[in-house]
Structure formats: C-alpha cells, structure tokens
C-alpha cells in the first residue's frame, strides 16, 4: 500500500542528446514515497538514460530534478549518494577482485579514520541488513566467483548500507529465473515496508503488473503517461509503449509470432556428441559431455543463465580449437580439425552475442563489415590472393537493399547506424551465402520491437527453407516463442531437452538454476 | 670477504634506481594508468637534478628538482590522457622522446658544450656507528640518504595499498573504475594524484643517477632503466613488495655485469652489458602465466 | 549551386587538416618563443629550418638520403601499430640489419660475382635479419602475451651492444680507428648512384612504399590486419588468426627496418659505423616512430609526412651548423608536434 501521496522524487523537462540521437525529450517523471514504481519502455526508449541522469552519471542538457519538493543538483554519483539515491545497474558495478564486504564498504567513511583497521563493525551491520531484507550472500568470497543473482543482492545491500531512501533497479530480472524473481519481489516488498522507495526499470509488462504500484511509460525518449497498476490493463500499457495499430505482443513485450508447422529434415544437420570443452577465459566454465542434434527446418533453442556454458557451446561449433574431447559433425563431416573459415565455407555461420564488441568492426565501413568472415571466399578473391573490391562493393549494395538497412551508402562507418540496423548488417553477413546451420546468440539483445520482429522473421524464414538454427538465448520468453525444441544448459551440462508441446516456463526456469 | 661486502654495498646503492622507478609505476598503475614514459622522465629529471645541484651547490635541491621534473612528466601524462582519452602508450612514448630531447637541451643550454664535465654535489652517506662494523649488514646501512628513504617508501606504499581505506579505493579505481565511480570515488582525481606522485618517484630515481652514482650528467645515462622498470612492474604483478625484489635482482645483475666487464674473461664485455635486457626478457617469459595486473590498466575511462 | 558544392568540399578538407594545422602552429609558436628567449634570430632560424632542403642540389639529395631510411622505419612502426601493437624496436632491427649486411659483405668480398647479385644478396639478408629480429618480439607477444613495448626496447639495447661488438672486434673491425667501425666494403658492393650523389636506395624505398600499399590495400592479409586493428575480438570470432596476423605485422615491420639498415651501410657509409642509424640527434627508428604517430597508418600518408620530416631534419642539421641552435630543440619540437597532433586529432573527432 502506498503510504502517502507526496512525491519523493521528481524530474521536470529533462532532455538529453547523444550526438544525433535525442535520447530524452522534456521528460516529466515523478515517484511517490514508499511505492514500487515501474519505468516501462522498449529497448532504446531512454529508461536507462533517465536513471543514469538521476544517479549523476550523465548530465542532462536541460531540465530540473526535485527531491521532496526541493530542487537539487546532481553532478556525480557522490551527489546522488548523499541524497540517498542508490542504483543497481544492469551490468554489475562491483569490483570483481574484491569480496562482498570490501565492495560494500568501498568509498564509505570509516568513523573518520584514515586507516582501514578492520571490517568488524561493518560486517555486523551487513549481516543485520542481509537478515532484515532476506538478501543473503557469502561475505568473503571474491565477487568474480559469484553468480549474477548473488551479485545483485550485494549491490542492493551496498545501497542500503549507505542508507539509500530510493533504490533504482535497472532491468533486475535480466539474470533471474523462476524462484529468484519471486525472491526479489519479496525483498522489494520488505524494502517498501521499511520506507524505501523503489524504481523498477524493465521492458517486461508482466513484471510491472506483478511487482509495481504504479508505472510510467517511455517511448522514443518521451514520457507517455503514468498509470495505477490495479486500474490498468496489459493492452493499455502496450498501446503506450508502442506506436502503430495491431501491435501483437506478449506480456514480455515481444512480438507474438507463432511459427507455422514445418517438417524437419530426415537427417540432422548438426550432431554434437559427448562434447567437452576447454575454458575460453581463465577459470571459465567448460562443457561437460554435451550431446544433442539439430535438424533442418527446426529452431533448437538453448536456455541457460549467462555463464553456464552457452557461449562455450556456440564457440565450440565454429572454433574447434576449444574442443577438449567429443565431436561436432556438420552434414556428416566432423569439424575437429577445421578452421573457422573452413567451417563457414561448409555452410555454417555465427552471430555472436555482444553486437558491438564481438560482431562488428565499429570503426570500419558497412562494406568491410559485410566482408568479415567472407574475406577468404573464392568469389571475392583474384588468383593472387588480392581482393576483388568491385565485386565486394556490388554485393554490399545488394545486401543493404535486400535487408533494408537504413544507410546512405555502404562506406558509412557502421557504428553510426542504430542498433537495429547494425543487427541487420550482422544478419545480412550471416546470410550472404546459402547456409545450412545458423548459430545465433542473443541476437535481439537491446533491440527495439520492430528489430526483434526482423530477427524473428529471419530465423523463421531460414527454418521454413529447411535450414537448422541453433538459437542460444538467455531470455526464456523469447526462446519459447520461436523454438521447436529447447535444451537447458546448467553448469556446462545439457540437463534436459523439451519439445514445444512440453514447454513449461516454471520447469525450464527451475532447471536453469539447478533445481 | 671484503670483495663480497663491497659488491653487496654497490648492489644496495644501485637498488633505489630500480625500486623508485618501478614503485612509481606501480602507484600509477594501480589506479589504471600505465606509465611507459619512465625512460624520458628519468632522463629529464637527471638533467634537471644535476643542473640544479651544480648551480646551487646543494644536493637536496637537486633531488627535489628531479622529483619536481618527474612529477611534471607524470602530471602531463595523466592530464593529457584524462582530458583527451588519447592512448596512454602513445603519450608515454612521446614523453620518452620529449624527455630525451629536453634533457640534452637543458644540459646544452645551461652548460654549453664542455670538454670537462663538472661534478655535482653528491648525496651524502650516513654511517650508523656500531652496526656499521658488522659485515653484510653494513652493506645495507652504510648508504646514502635516498636508500633509507627507499626502504621506507616500499613499506609505506605496501601499507597504503593494502591496509588503508585510501588504498582500497585506489585499487578499486584500477580494477573497475565504473564500480569506483558508482560509489562516489573520484576516479579522475585518484589517477591524477597517483600518476603525478609516481612521476615524482621516477624523477628521484632519475636524479639519483648523476647525484649518487656517477656524479655527472651524460646524455642517455638512463640507458634503458626506465623500460626495465616497466618490465619489473609487469612481472611483479604490480605489487610493491615484489617490485622491490625485482629491483634487487636487476641491481644485482647490473653490478655483476659491471664487475665482469672489468675482469679478464674471454667473453667480450658487450655481452655482459646485454644481461639486464636479456634478463627482463627471460624473467617476463618465466612469469608469463602468473602475471596479474589491474583490470583497467591502460584503458581510458569515461562515464558516457 | 557550384559554389555550395565546392565550399562544402573545402569545409570537409578543412576539417581533415584542422588538427594538423593547429598542432603545427602551436608547436612552431613554442619553438619560436624558445628561440627568441635563447637569443636566436627567430626569422632566420625558421627560414633555415624550412628552406635549407631546397636551397641547393646537394641539399635536395641530402633530404632524400634522410627520407630513405626514415620512410622505412616509419612503416616499421606503423604496420604493427595498425593492430595496436607498439614496435619501438625499429632501431634495433635497423642496426642488426646493417650489422649482418656488413658481416656478409665482408665475408663475400673476395668472391667474384656481379655487383647486382651481391647487392641483392646483402640487402635481402639485411631485410630478413630485421624481420626475424622483430619476430622475436612478435612471437613473444603472440604466444606469451609479452608486452611488445618492453620486449622491443630490450632487443634494441641488445642490438646496440652486438653492433658495438662487431665494430670493435677483429675480423670485422677497422684497424687504427678511434670510433667503432668496421672495415670498408669493396666499392663494387656499394649501391650505385643516380643524380650524382643520391644512391639507389631511394628508389628501393619508393618501391617499398608501393609494396606496402599493395599489401595493405589489395590483399586479404591487409584486410585481416586492418580488421584486427578495428576490433580484435570480432576479427578472431570470424576466422582471422590473431597470432598469425601479429607475426606478419612484426615480420613486415622488422623487414623494412632491417632493409633500411642495409641500405645505409651499402649506400651511405660503405661500412658499419657505430651510430650510423642516428641522424639529427636521434635514431632513425625514433624519428620513424614520431612520423608514424603523426601520419597514421595510411600507406600514402606515410611517405608524405616522412618527406616533410626529412625536410625538418635536414633543416635542423643546418640550423645547428650555421646558427648554433642545438639540434635537440628541433627534436623537442617534433616530439611536441606528435603530442599536439595526437591530442588535436582526438579533440576534433567529436
């Protein structure tokens, strides 16, 4: 129940521009004391930008911020911390090498003394808070060894240790499944009972309806309105979030597509047998005895929380050097001694999960980006290993047209494109030549709804043409929309495979966290 | 016996060159700034220290001038990097070149071209009575003032980094500046302070050369030691206690190489002079798997 | 209509050269002030600095003679720098190249063979020496992740000692000389000259410019190098072998530096002389690094900036000779130009 109707935090007319993109435009936003307030909007709507301004990491171009009726100036996190605002970011902002105690105590005053004598009083305080809010975690383990969910708990306690009155949570459920989400909700309720105000940023309508008292909707950087949750419907929220009529979305704001029945191939295109891998990063996870098959005409989804082996599985198929034992067979050919380029030439392609850091060359032209992975294709080479730039240019123009990439020409630096258009280039590159197997990892991360729809269309198209898709995604909602089957990875093991008619969010979610 | 003692003494005398320089690197490095300008910083500081000591007749002013020059170089590195985000390595290498040019220029301008290079006032030794009779120990404590300061500095930096609140914050900046920023630590200020102070240490190491070791200034007198310091900082995993050990090792190598050069062996002396440099390569190769470093080392940080 | 197109073009051009203009302007301002404070005639000094290279046929040749090794050491830094690795070892690679060239030359000096064959043999050996010497650092980086800044510098110092050894030890040492140097190489082994004093090394250097351009712009390996420079991780994911690319860039860079060493020995000195890789107060390798930082890696920008740099270097020599301005002042100015160019470039990128 909302205690009072006074605003604890308010923004008036906040605008922010990044280069040519207007991220926020004259946003008025207010939060009442003691409520859980949802900030809803699709990817790119400006939610994180607004919150980063409140937290002092970004400076607004114009506009004002008020706390409890008083105008305030927030120039850095030091200011927002003093005002009692705490933020838990989507990507962990803990120091990986430090323990939970060190992270929580970092930057705070220690009874005015210059020397860190001991953490004993801090530890007592931390344990008290942990107990009170039901957020438990090991105190003396290096944070880099903990799961994302645990790290999140530490970050919340970190804010509460500094007596935060307002807690901003940016997409807190990105790494939570099933039970963990319920636990988080419980903790939030306890927080609110203790006088803390919570701002909950998300793009999932369902979560807002479950957790929040009120919600404000951002679209394209503009505030669309604020509603009381018990007086609103999913449809109203959808209409606020998206433009255009006939928006058919699920309650996690995803395009509501239903794959048509497609007959899958007789023989599997990709066979993985007893696969064990080497770690990709120091002390990283390894796959243990993973076996499955992917057929033509099907989308085989892989569910799993980040860090449980999804990346390793995707990489093992295109980079056999990380295979320790077991085999991967594509169209009857084992790939263990092949190079990535050879595997691509066999009719496989891979779109990695981190669009900017792994999938593209940000400062290169669209043309050169399309060439990546195809730079040793016979079609592009003269006899003397020189590149046929004219041909490459022509193919680039073709692909830009075919995939409807919004750009004046192929020489534009790719990082100037929007996220959705970049993903179009990534797919154009993957689908340049006919392929039999597409390995794609989190292809829709951070994309707005129409771009997500584009990705789904590409995948379903491939499937219709009898090709195989290995679809790795940390978002279970997305997997359940387009996959024919879903395999669950937990700690490097493939623990179960579900057929579409067996899809059960709770069961799959439970297996993802090891239940 | 006496010979060993003398050798030991010389080794201890040479240690501050390597200790101060690598310690200066560690200080800035722990906040994320990879300072490769050491060679140029030390040269410029050597020149400045020598000139000031000569002109004023005061070794202390010389050391201070060297420290100030070093601090100026450190400050320049961090200031340019923090305001423009240009690569720390590019700035560092440019400063190496700048320092080399500046050191010779200063010298030429103040002293002109001379055949006989005057000696500057050297840093005095301090002999502790009684203890200085004990062999071996005497090598460590009949030393000049800077050596004692160096011992103290190593302990101080270690304590600072690992036992104080400031040290925790400093290390946080080097590991994950975003995390530090988010809890209200001033990342920029931390980097400015540590790199400038680190530069000052490099400067003292540079000034040490003319004011303790040789007595005069010669062009390129650092002879690669600024880069050896980088090597030491790397294989010591940016830990002050390990850089001290590394510094002892390379001081020993230098002293032994000098001795072998003077003695009558079949091996041409040039190969002894190569030993410190090959030594760095060997040591870096040996420690390659165990090397750790602050995660944000060398990377620019900005909020947006 | 026409006016607006050409003024748009001009604006684009201005944006392109703006950082360089500012950087040069500030640097020269600083130099001018320094010169004035030190009592030199500023106008005379600048005139000498900039116009010496064009003042006579001899001076033009001298400028080209500096350009030849400089453009090569510039590429030596610039090519590995494409993939964000710092090859500061071009000094060592160059002098190793020159040293091996001398050893080989003295070794075959009594064998009868056509001049051209000897020259090709020796220059190839010099180039390969530089290439493999550089490869040590490249391999240490590729396989053991050892920072090339440290390893290439260490190798520089090793090379300096080795060269000193060769120049002061029989059978190579020239008898009865004070300064370390080797015996003279026979006349028929030296590079022939064109335009009276300019050795053909100049043409070889120009040929190398074309070669680098071809590799970087037209071949697959050039595309791979460029891609690794843009984003190592993405390049790796899409099948580019990072280790191989690293080795190739260090090999190419070292090869060009080694070649420069051989050319200097065969074309300028006719023997190994300690300090042969030094000009105007610093090593060619150092100036190459400076030049590369200013020019960037564009294969066509490199010779242009290297040529401008050669003019400055030649002018600096003349400045010291005629006006007694310490050559270090120009050296300092160049370092300043680099810092200013690099920072202005970043500033103006926004």
Chain C hits for A340, Cβ within 8 Å: 237-239
Strand partners, A504: none
The answer to whether the CB atoms of A350 and C235 lie below 8 A apart is no
Please write the tens of the pLDDT for every residue from B235-268.
999 999 999 999 999 999 999 998 888 877 788 8
CB pairs under 8 A between A and B: 74
CATH topology of domain C26-347: ABC transporter involved in vitamin B12 uptake, BtuC (1.10.3470)
Q: Between residues 109 and 168 of chain B, which touch chain A (CB distance below 8 Å)?
A: 163-168
Structure tokens at A391: 């041909």
Query: Cα–Cα distance between A233 and C181 in angstroms, integer?
Result: 90
Query: Cα–Cα distance between C276 and C264 in angstroms, integer?
Result: 7
**Nearest-CA neighbor of B250 among B24, B3, B12?**
B12
Q: What is the pLDDT of residue A101?
A: 92
Mean pLDDT of C246-275: 95
Of B172, B182, B184, the CB nearest to A98: B172
The answer to whether the CB atoms of C161 and B270 lie below 8 A apart is yes
Q: What is the pLDDT of residue B29?
A: 96
Structure tokens at A373: 């992975």
- Mean pLDDT of all residues in chain B? 90
The answer to whether the CB atoms of B285 and C153 lie below 8 A apart is no
Q: Read out DSSP for A26-57?
A: EEEEEEETT-EEEEE--TTSSHHHHHHHHTTS
Q: What is the pLDDT of residue B207?
A: 95
- Mean pLDDT of all residues in chain C? 91
CA A46 to chain CA centroid, nearest Å: 15
Chain A hits for C244, Cβ within 8 Å: none
| Touching chains, C (3+ CB pairs < 8 A) | A, B
Q: What is the pLDDT of residue A246?
A: 61
Q: What is the pLDDT of residue A282?
A: 78
Q: Are B180 and B55 in contact (CB under 8 A)?
A: no
The answer to whether the CB atoms of B277 and C289 lie below 8 A apart is no
Rounded to the nearest angstrom, the minimum Cα separation between C231 and chain A is 5
The answer to whether the CB atoms of B182 and A93 lie below 8 A apart is yes
Per-residue pLDDT for B301 more than 60?
yes
Architecture per CATH, domain A267-347+434-515, reads as 3-Layer(aba) Sandwich (3.40)
Of A339, A358, A376, the CB nearest to C237: A358
Instruction: Give pTM, 2 decimals.
Output: 0.92
Q: What is the pLDDT of residue C119?
A: 94
Alpha carbon separation from C329 to A357, B101, B115, C28, C268 (Å, rounded): 43, 7, 21, 11, 26
The answer to whether the CB atoms of A340 and C239 lie below 8 A apart is yes
Rounded to the nearest angstrom, the minimum Cα separation between C78 and chain B is 12
Which one of C30, C92, C153 would you mutate to disrupt binding with B, by most B Cβ within 10 Å of its Cβ? C153
Mean pLDDT of B80-85: 93
For domain B9-113+138-286, is the CATH number 3.40.720?
no
**Tens of pLDDT, residue by residue, chain A (515 residues):** 444 458 899 999 999 998 888 999 999 999 999 999 999 998 889 999 999 999 999 999 999 999 998 999 999 999 999 999 999 998 899 999 999 999 999 988 754 456 665 788 889 999 999 999 889 999 999 998 888 889 999 999 999 999 999 999 999 888 787 778 888 889 999 999 999 999 999 998 989 999 999 999 999 999 999 999 999 988 889 889 987 766 788 888 888 888 999 998 999 999 999 999 999 887 788 999 999 999 999 999 999 988 899 999 999 999 999 999 999 999 999 998 899 999 999 999 999 999 999 999 999 999 999 999 999 998 999 887 899 999 999 999 999 999 999 998 899 999 989 889 999 999 999 999 999 999 999 999 889 888 999 999 999 999 999 999 999 998 999 999 999 999 999 999 999 999 999 998 888 988 998 86
Of the listed ranges A120-124, B50-54, B142-146, C1-5, the least confidently predicted one is: C1-5
Q: What is the pLDDT of residue C322?
A: 87
Per-residue pLDDT for C321 more than 90?
no
Q: What is the pLDDT of residue C280?
A: 85
Per-residue pLDDT for C28 more than 80?
yes
Mean pLDDT of C49-65: 90
Q: What is the pLDDT of residue A446?
A: 87
Query: Cα–Cα distance between C90 and C74 in angstroms, integer?
Result: 9
Sorted by where each begins, the domain ranges of chain C are 26-347
Of the listed ranges B180-184, C8-12, C95-99, C288-292, the least confidently predicted one is: C8-12
Q: Are B29 and B297 in contact (CB under 8 A)?
A: yes
CA A461 to chain CA centroid, nearest Å: 24
The answer to whether the CB atoms of C231 and A344 lie below 8 A apart is no
The answer to whether the CB atoms of B86 and C342 lie below 8 A apart is yes
Sorted by where each begins, the domain ranges of chain B are 9-113+138-286
Sorted by where each begins, the domain ranges of chain A are 1-84+165-253, 96-162, 267-347+434-515, 357-429
Q: What is the pLDDT of residue A176?
A: 80
Using DSSP's 3-state secondary structure scheme, residue C182 falls into strand
Distance spanning both ends of chain B, measured CA to CA: 64
Nearest-Cα residue of chain C relative to residue B234: C147
Q: Are A116 and B164 in contact (CB under 8 A)?
A: yes
Query: Cα–Cα distance between B59 and C16 in angstroms, integer?
Result: 50
| Whether the domain at A1-84+165-253 and the domain at A267-347+434-515 fall into the same CATH topology | yes
* Residues constituting chain C: 350
Q: What is the pLDDT of residue A112?
A: 43
Q: What is the pLDDT of residue A348?
A: 96
Per-residue pLDDT for B219 more than 80?
yes
The answer to whether the CB atoms of B271 and C161 lie below 8 A apart is yes
Beta carbons within 8 Å of B22's beta carbon, 6+ residues apart: B229, B230, B232, B233, B236, B243, B246, B247
Query: Cα–Cα distance between C158 and C137 in angstroms, integer?
Result: 13
Chain A hits for C238, Cβ within 8 Å: 340, 344, 350, 372-373
Q: What is the pLDDT of residue A245?
A: 60
Q: What is the pLDDT of residue A111?
A: 42
pLDDT band at C350 (very low <50, low <70, confident <90, very high): low
CATH topology of domain A1-84+165-253: Rossmann fold (3.40.50)
3-state secondary structure A436-479: CEEEEECCCCCCCHHHHHHHHHHHHHHHHCCCEEEEECCCHHHH
Please write the tens of the pLDDT for every residue from C212-241.
999 999 999 999 999 999 999 999 999 999
User: Of residues A194 and B113, which shows the higher confidence score?
Assistant: A194
Chain B hits for A18, Cβ within 8 Å: 304
């Amino acid at each position: 129940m909302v205690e009072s109707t006074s605003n604890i935090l308010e923004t008036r007319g906040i605008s922010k521009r990044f280069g040519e993109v207007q991220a926020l435009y004259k946003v008025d936003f207010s939060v009442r004391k003691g409520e859980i307030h949802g900030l809803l909007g699709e990817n790119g709507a400006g939610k994180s930008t607004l919150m980063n301004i409140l937290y002092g990491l970004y400076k607004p171009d114009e506009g004002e911020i008020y706390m409890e009726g008083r105008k305030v100036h927030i120039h850095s996190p030091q200011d927002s911390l003093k005002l009692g605002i705490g933020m838990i970011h989507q990507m962990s902002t803990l120091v990986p090498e430090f323990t939970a105690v060190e992270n929580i105590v970092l930057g705070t005053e220690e009874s005015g003394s210059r020397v860190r004598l001991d953490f004993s009083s801090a530890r007592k305080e931390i344990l008290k808070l942990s107990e009170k809010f039901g957020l438990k975690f090991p105190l003396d383990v290096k944070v880099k060894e903990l799961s994302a969910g645990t790290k999140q708990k530490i970050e919340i306690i970190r804010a509460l240790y500094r007596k935060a009155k307002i807690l901003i949570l940016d997409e807190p459920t990105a790494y939570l499944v099933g039970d963990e989400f319920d636990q988080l909700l419980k903790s939030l309720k306890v927080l609110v009972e203790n006088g803390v105000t919570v701002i909950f940023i998300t793009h999932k309508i369902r979560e807002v309806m479950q957790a929040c008292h009120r919600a404000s909707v951002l679209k394209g950087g503009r505030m669309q309105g604020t509603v009381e949750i018990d007086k609103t419907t999913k449809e109203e929220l959808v209409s606020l979030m998206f433009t255009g009529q006939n928006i058919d979305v699920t309650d996690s704001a995803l395009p509501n597509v239903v794959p048509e029945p497609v007959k899958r191939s007789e023989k599997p295109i990709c066979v993985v047998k007893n696969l064990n891998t080497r770690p990709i990063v120091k002390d990283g996870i390894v796959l243990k005895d993973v076996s499955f098959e992917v057929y033509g005409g099907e989308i085989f989804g892989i569910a799993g929380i980040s860090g449980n082996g999804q990346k390793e599985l995707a990489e093992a198929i295109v980079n056999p050097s990380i295979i320790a034992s077991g085999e991967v067979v594509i169209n009857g050919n084992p790939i263990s001694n092949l190079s990535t380029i050879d595997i691509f030439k066999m009719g496989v392609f891979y779109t990695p999960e981190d669009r900017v850091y792994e999938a593209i060359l940000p400062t290169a032209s669209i043309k050169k980006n399309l060439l990546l992975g195809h730079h040793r294709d016979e079609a592009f080479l003269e006899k003397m290993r020189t590149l046929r730039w004219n041909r490459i240019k022509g193919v680039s123009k073709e692909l830009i047209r075919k995939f409807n990439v919004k750009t004046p020409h192929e020489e534009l630096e790719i990082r100037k494109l929007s996220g959705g258009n970049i993903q179009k280039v990534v797919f154009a590159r993957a689908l340049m030549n006919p392929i039999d197997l597409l390995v794609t990892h989190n292809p829709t991360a951070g994309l707005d709804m129409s771009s997500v729809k584009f990705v789904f269309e590409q995948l379903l198209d491939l499937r219709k043409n009898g090709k195989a898709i290995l679809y790795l995604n940390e978002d279970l909602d997305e997997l359940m929309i387009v996959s024919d089957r879903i395999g669950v990875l937990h700690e490097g093991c493939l623990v179960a495979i579900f057929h579409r008619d067996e899809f059960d969010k709770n069961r799959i979610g439970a297996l993802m966290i090891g239940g | 016996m006496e010979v060993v003692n003398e050798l030991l003494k010389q080794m201890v005398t040479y240690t501050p060159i390597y200790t101060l320089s690598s310690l200066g690197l560690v200080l800035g490095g722990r906040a994320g700034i990879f300072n490769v300008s050491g060679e140029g910083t030390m040269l410029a500081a050597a020149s400045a220290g020598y000139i000031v000591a000569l002109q004023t007749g005061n070794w202390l002013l010389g050391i201070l001038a060297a420290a100030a020059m070093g601090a100026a170089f450190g400050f320049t590195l961090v200031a340019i990097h923090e305001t423009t985000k240009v690569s720390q390595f590019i700035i560092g290498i440019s400063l190496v070149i700048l320092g080399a040019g500046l050191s010779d220029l200063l010298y030429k301008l103040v002293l002109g071209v001379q055949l006989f290079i005057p000696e500057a006032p050297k840093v005095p030794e301090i002999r502790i009575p009684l203890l200085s009779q004990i062999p071996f120990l005497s090598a460590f404590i009949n030393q000049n003032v800077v050596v004692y300061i160096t011992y103290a500095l190593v302990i101080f930096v270690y304590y600072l980094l690992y036992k104080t609140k400031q040290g925790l914050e400093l290390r946080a900046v080097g590991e994950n500046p975003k995390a530090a920023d988010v809890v209200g630590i001033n990342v920029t200020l931390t980097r400015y302070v540590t790199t400038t102070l680190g530069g000052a240490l490099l400067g003292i190491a540079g000034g040490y050369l003319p004011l303790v070791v040789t007595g005069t200034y010669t062009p390129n007198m650092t002879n690669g030691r600024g880069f050896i310091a980088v090597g030491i900082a790397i294989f010591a995993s940016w830990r002050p206690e390990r850089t001290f050990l590394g510094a002892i090792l390379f001081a020993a190598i230098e002293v032994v190489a000098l001795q072998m050069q003077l003695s009558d062996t079949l091996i041409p002396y040039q190969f002894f002079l190569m030993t410190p440099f090959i030594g760095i390569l060997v040591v870096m190769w040996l420690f390659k798997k165990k090397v750790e470093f602050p995660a944000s080392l060398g990377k620019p940080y900005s909020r947006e | 209509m026409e006016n607006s197109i050409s003024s748009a073009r001009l604006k684009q051009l201005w944006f392109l050269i703006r950082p360089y203009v500012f950087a040069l302007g500030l640097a020269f301002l600083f130099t001018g002030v320094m010169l004035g404070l030190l009592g030199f005639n500023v106008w005379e000094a600048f005139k000498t600095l900039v116009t010496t290279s064009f003042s006579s046929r001899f001076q033009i040749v001298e400028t080209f003679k500096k350009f030849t090794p400089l453009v090569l050491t510039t590429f030596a830094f610039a090519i590995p720098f494409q993939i964000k690795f710092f090859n500061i070892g071009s000094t060592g690679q160059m002098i190793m190249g020159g040293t091996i060239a001398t050893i080989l030359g003295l070794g075959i000096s009594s064998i009868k063979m056509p001049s051209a064959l000897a020259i090709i043999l020796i220059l190839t050996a010099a180039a390969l020496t530089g290439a493999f010497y550089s490869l040590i650092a490249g391999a240490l980086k590729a396989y053991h992740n050892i920072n090339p800044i440290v390893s290439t510098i260490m190798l520089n110092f090793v090379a300096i000692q080795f060269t000193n050894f060769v120049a002061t030890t029989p059978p190579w040492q020239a008898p009865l000389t004070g300064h370390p140097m080797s015996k003279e190489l026979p006349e028929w082994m030296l590079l022939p000259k064109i335009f009276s004093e300019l050795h053909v090394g100049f043409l070889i250097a120009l040929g190398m410019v074309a070669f680098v351009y071809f590799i970087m712009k037209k071949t697959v390996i050039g595309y791979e190098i460029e891609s690794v420079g843009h984003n190592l991780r993405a390049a790796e994911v899409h099948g580019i072998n990072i280790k191989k690319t690293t080795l190739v860039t260090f090999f190419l860079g070292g090869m060009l530096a080694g070649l420069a060493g051989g050319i200097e020995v065969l074309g300028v000195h006719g023997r190994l002389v300690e300090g042969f890789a030094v000009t105007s107060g610093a090593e060619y390798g150092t100036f190459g690094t400076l030049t590369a930082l200013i020019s960037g890696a564009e294969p066509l920008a490199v010779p242009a900036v290297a040529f401008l740099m050669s003019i400055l270097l030649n002018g600096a020599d003349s400045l010291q000779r005629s006006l007694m301005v310490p050559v270090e002042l120009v050296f300092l100015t160049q370092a300043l130009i680099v810092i200013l160019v690099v920072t202005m470039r970043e500033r103006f990128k926004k």
